[in-house]
Amino acid sequence: MAVGAVPPADGAPQTGGSAQPEGSAGAPFLELLAQGAPAAAYEQPVLLARAEGRPAAWIAALEHAKLLALRVRAELEGRRRREAELSALFETAHDLAGLRDLDSVLSAIVQRARSLLGTDVAYLTLNDPARGDTYMRVTEGSVAARFQQLRLGMGEGLGGLVAQTARPYVTEDYFKDARFQHTGTIDAGVQDEGLVAILGVPLMLGPHVIGVLFAADRRARGFEREQIALLGSFAALAAAAIDSANLLTETRAALADLERANEIIRDRSAVIERASDVHDRLAELVLRGGGVHDVAAAVSQVLAGTVEFTETGDAPAGPLEASRVEGHAVRHGDDWIAAVAAGGELLGALVLRGHRDLDPVDQRTLERAAMVTSLLLLARRSAAEAEQRVRGELLDDLLDARARDPRLLRERAARLRADLDATHVLLAARLDIPAADAEQEAAARRRLWSAASHLAATRHGLAAARDGGTVLLLPLPRGAGATELARRTAHHLGTAVHEAVTVGASAPVADLAARPEAATAAYAEARRCLEALLLLGRTGDGAAAEDFGFLGLLLAGDRDVAGFVERTIGQVVAYDRRRGTDLIRTLEAYFASGASPARTKDALHVHVNTVAQRLERVGRLLGEDWQSPARALEIQLALRLHRLSAPARS
């Protein structure tokens, strides 16, 4: 046989030298190997030979040569892939050896893992021992914000299972895999990202799992054993990088502690001078109008620690009360707590973190800072209360439609950063909660007024307590409507007071300085809207007068809306609730289509016979005269009231 000739495949007839095809059957495949052609191209020589009508022996030799060439190609591809994998692992190890920035090393690991495994996404999570879960640290190829912020409890999702069992897990279709615990939060994040196939391997430090490295695709696929092993190698390098970074951080912290101790020894003689410097800094802060956080920042610098101002409810109750009674800072574990008080009233606390031992001079510095903080808080409270009163007085003057000079009204508003020439909306807000006594009810109203005043100040508007509730005058944002503003205000105030707040809004009004009577009319409109919401049972919601149309007039006053709806279409509502049918929606579409079954079926996307059957059922429930003019009007009004009574759609 000539050099380079390919023997025929097993089973091909061999009749001596005459059976061998002319030339070399392997030549075209050698060219394809040299060109690095795709696997599909190796079928072309065989197909061409068949098309030319070559002998069977020649075609059999080509088939055999093709198989050998594909085997060689696969071997070459495997070697190239292994070379790329080894190169990536070497580069990662090189990055680890020169570790300076942990995030950069982890990002490089995730990026290389994604590239070598050919996946759409790769990401890495780390365990949080304090919270007992694992959280997303680095992602590559991710596009969904919710996915990038996921936290997985131990045992939750594929990643939680890997973190809990310290074993790799792979799934070809995440949502069809029942081996791990699905949760709404995790599934929503995975669905946002569009992931289907997921491979996760643990990051191990000794016997402990510190995180999980993932590779994932947005289509179903299987992961080969070699790919799982490769991702495991990257996970080992990532764990080593984290361990090295932790050791480096601990070393730096130890060096910083030694340096700080040395500085304390050297600077012991300058303690009194430092205390004087604190006094000067605090005085300067007060004179230039600094705030409580400025005081905390200044003291942090002087005491070489972290000083924070906390609200009364966020500080430990026992040490805080002891500090208030004694008038000195009190140690609590490794922290020091100094009460911020005035006239026996606790306003908060200054907390020095992580200073177990504090010399008397530094302790006195912390106590002096707490005293300055209390003075600043009292001054801020007085200013805020004064501004709230001024805003309330200006709005009261507008609502009472007193004869006022427009120029003076504009000047008063400008001092409060409000513009009466802009387009505004009047909003009537009410906090409807059962109160055990008058004192609790008054306290609830004060909370609502305080929250409304703060909202008005931040939005360049006005607020006042009025008629057992609160009224706000807020500028209408560009592109927004009165309904949207009412709902936002109801949500904001409800969140602030932790109770349901209902808000009714007027139509937009302008030129209030020149037309103060317009504010009075708008407030009356907002109150009617508020009463309509309460009558419809939409407590905690917000709406504008434009949402109700003529129904706003019908709903004003004490009317039994629920009783009217029940008497008119109650049987149909109950039938839908019991049977899961759509009779109410069919009625709405029927009247909206001008009582035309043909147009109704188009609106509902059902057959006209279905519409007829539903209307026949309605007739049996409501009576044969349900389509008479008088009954039809009542039914349409009841349908409208029923829909308005439902929770508002966002």
**Check: CATH 3.10.150.10 for 561-645?**
no
SS3 132: coil
Q: What is the rounded CA–CA span in Å between residue 554 and residue 547?
A: 13
pLDDT bin (cut points 50, 70, 90) of residue 377 is low
pLDDT bin (cut points 50, 70, 90) of residue 5 is very low
In this prediction, what percent of the chain has a pLDDT beyond 70? 80
- Whether 289-383 and 99-251 are alike in CATH topology: the answer is yes
- pLDDT for 201: 92
Model confidence at 436: pLDDT above 80? no
Candidate CATH numbers 3.40.640.10, 3.30.450.40, 3.30.505.10, 3.90.1300.10; the one for domain 99-251? 3.30.450.40
SS3 332: strand
Lowest mean pLDDT: which of 302-306, 423-427, 470-474, 579-583?
A: 302-306
User: Which residue, 126, 147, 129, is CA-closest to 137?
Assistant: 126
Model confidence at 432: pLDDT above 70? yes
Would the CA dihedral through 9, 12, 15, 20 be positive or negative? negative
Mean pLDDT estimate for the chain: 79
Model confidence at 552: pLDDT above 70? no
| CA angle (469 as vertex; 464, 474 as ends), nearest 5 | 45
User: Which residue, 377, 409, 411, 380, is CA-closest to 396?
Assistant: 409
Q: What pTM does this model have? A: 0.39
Please tell me the CATH code under which domain 289-383 is placed: 3.30.450.40
Domain range annotation of the chain: 99-251, 289-383, 401-555, 561-645
Residue 345 DSSP symbol? E
Q: Cβ–Cβ contacts within 10 Å for residue 516, how many?
A: 20
Write out pLDDT tens, residues 33-91.
777 788 788 888 888 888 888 888 888 888 888 888 788 777 767 666 665 665 665 56
pLDDT bin (cut points 50, 70, 90) of residue 2 is very low
Q: What is the rounded CA–CA span in Å between residue 164 and residue 137?
A: 18
Write out pLDDT tens, residues 575-588.
999 999 999 999 99
CATH fold of 401-555 reads Alpha-Beta Plaits (3.30.70)
Beta-bridge mates of residue 124: 138, 213
Write out pLDDT tens, residues 501-535.
999 998 898 888 777 778 888 888 888 888 888 88
pLDDT (average), residues 452-477: 86
Model confidence at 642: pLDDT above 70? yes
pLDDT (average), residues 461-470: 84
Look up residue 407 and give its two tokens. Answer: 């120029």
Lowest mean pLDDT: which of 109-123, 308-322, 372-386?
A: 372-386
Q: What is the rounded CA–CA span in Å between residue 134 and residue 17?
A: 71
Write out pLDDT tens, residues 390-423.
555 777 777 776 656 778 878 787 787 888 888 8
Lowest mean pLDDT: which of 261-270, 358-367, 578-587?
A: 261-270
In this prediction, what percent of the chain has a pLDDT beyond 90? 19
Model confidence at 122: pLDDT above 90? yes
pLDDT bin (cut points 50, 70, 90) of residue 11 is very low
Q: Which H or E element spans position 395? A: helix 360-399
Q: Which residue has the tokens 């030799």?
A: 61
